[in-house]
Amino acid sequence: MTPGVSDFGRERSVTLLLRLAVCAGKVQLDPDAEAVHDLRVTIRRLNQAIRIFVPGEQRRDARKIRRMLRKVMDAAGEVRDRDIALQLLAEAQVPARAGLMAAIEDQRETARAKVKRKAAKLAGDEFVNKWKTRFGW
């Protein structure tokens, strides 16, 4: 048990870590808009838990996981940006075969492949157990 971390903080952090692994797994299977959104929300929440519940002496490990999370968040953001652009173009009734929409769809497919690769590092028990152990959760 890590000194200074409440039972609530530990429980909440582990729950978020587990949820992150599940969300990353879903993104690996199909990085649709909902899966990417859920992954981004979970990363934000876990980042906050790390800031609050990881003791100062573990700052190095906290920086390491937060750096990893930031890379996945950036990749997910690229997908989300394209999703929003496509939605706005559809609402503006731009024809689906317009060159702009096709270009954005191509970019989205590239971004989807990237987020799938990045999410693979967060999915599964190995990732969860590693960080639970490091932080004493």
pLDDT digits (tens, 9 = 90+) for 68-98: 999 999 999 999 999 999 999 999 998 877 7
Does some domain include residue 18?
A: yes
Count of structural domains within the chain: 1
Per the prediction, the chain carries an average pLDDT of 92
Does some domain include residue 1?
A: no
Q: What is the DSSP letter of 124?
A: S
- At 67 the pLDDT is 96
Does some domain include residue 129?
A: yes
Does some domain include residue 125?
A: yes
Q: Based on the number of CB atoms within 10 Å of its own CB, is 65 exposed (0-12), middle (13-18) or buried (19 or more)?
A: buried
- Supply the range of the domain harboring residue 51: 7-135
- At 4 the pLDDT is 54
* Cα dist from 97 to 30, 79, 87, 89, whole Å: 24, 20, 14, 11
Q: 106 near 7, Cβ under 8 Å?
A: no
Does some domain include residue 90?
A: yes
**pLDDT tier, 124 (very low <50, low <70, confident <90, very high otherwise):** confident
Does some domain include residue 40?
A: yes
Does some domain include residue 2?
A: no
pLDDT digits (tens, 9 = 90+) for 43-68: 999 999 999 988 888 989 999 999 99
Give me the phi and psi of 94, to 5 degrees please. Answer: -75, 130
